[in-house]
Amino acid sequence: MQKISLTGGTGFVGRRLVDVLGRDDRELTCLARNAAARNLPIVPGLDWLSGRVEDADAQRQLVAGADTVIHVAGLTKALGRDGFHRTNVEATAALVMQARKAGVRHFILVSSLAASRPEVSAYAASKALAESAARRLSGNMQLTIIRPPAVLGPGDDATRDVMHLLRRGWMVYPSRGQPAGRFSWIDVGDLARFILSVVDAPSQASDHILAPSSGPQLSWDDVADAAEAVLNRKVRRIGLPAALVRSVGVAADFTALVSRHPFILSGGKANELLQRDWQSDFVVDVPTPLHQTLSHCFLDTHRQEGKLSGRRSS
């Protein structure tokens, strides 16, 4: 029986990956902080290991006896470059070394398309450095790096406010005062199934950087049009000038330093949003249509609003 070890199993992408991996006959071990005290999903063949991805002992336990390690865990927001470096770079490097020592055959690093432009943000730089460390330290262990673009789907805290606004008929987007660029995206379910295909056919992804997508040529107008089709209503489009987007990012950075609470919107994220043409390399088999993904996201925001409303009235 194939044994797979996974980090990030409680995150946005990791939850969907646990779901697809748990459908087949395989042993799955997932690392989670304070696992014993959390309400984690119970899936046949799934064991939850308590620990942090930065902890050496937890890493050793996680990779012991594994055939494949899938490393999804990482920070998408931090108070500064050092925070990104500790988790995204140092923990990745240590996990790769632990996996190699344990005799793991295949290490799958789920990175980000942002790694293709490390100069753009501290997050992007950390992802690029993590990839470099993995390649340097993997030795004879097979390494596959997956660079997803913007991942969309229900249950994502990072985009829930955006989806909430879009469902109400408003789309606010960064405008550069020039012809709009196009960008790739991937449905979270499509990404999970693609990772599973790499697990099941490792020889086809040997020592490659793979950048899959559900749609490689998306514009902000395409997003609004798809939302209008789902909602059967007009979506008003508001383009924010680049200077305003950067100012909001700087303000978010300052607020995060004062509150010691990082935000997904930051100066670095503003720079990423203002980049042109984030393009993946290929489209996955049987991609999910954008309107279907948005429909699932809108349903999720509707449920969340209902929960919040129930709490306020109780």
List the domain boundaries for the chain: 3-150+185-213, 157-182+215-278+288-309
State the pLDDT at residue 204: 67
* Residue pLDDT, tens place only, 77-134: 998 899 999 999 999 999 999 999 999 999 999 999 999 999 999 999 999 999 999 9
Closest CA to 48 of 24, 30, 67: 30
Which pTM value belongs to this model?
0.93
147 contacts 112 by C-beta, under 8 angstroms: yes
| The two structure tokens encoding residue 165 | 């606004």
User: In this model, does residue 37 exceed pLDDT 60?
Assistant: no
Between these two residues, 303 and 100, which has the higher pLDDT value? 100
| The two structure tokens encoding residue 15 | 């939850």
At the top level of CATH, the class of 3-150+185-213 is alpha beta
137 contacts 96 by C-beta, under 8 angstroms: yes
DSSP 113: G
CA 86 to chain centre: 18
52 contacts 27 by C-beta, under 8 angstroms: no
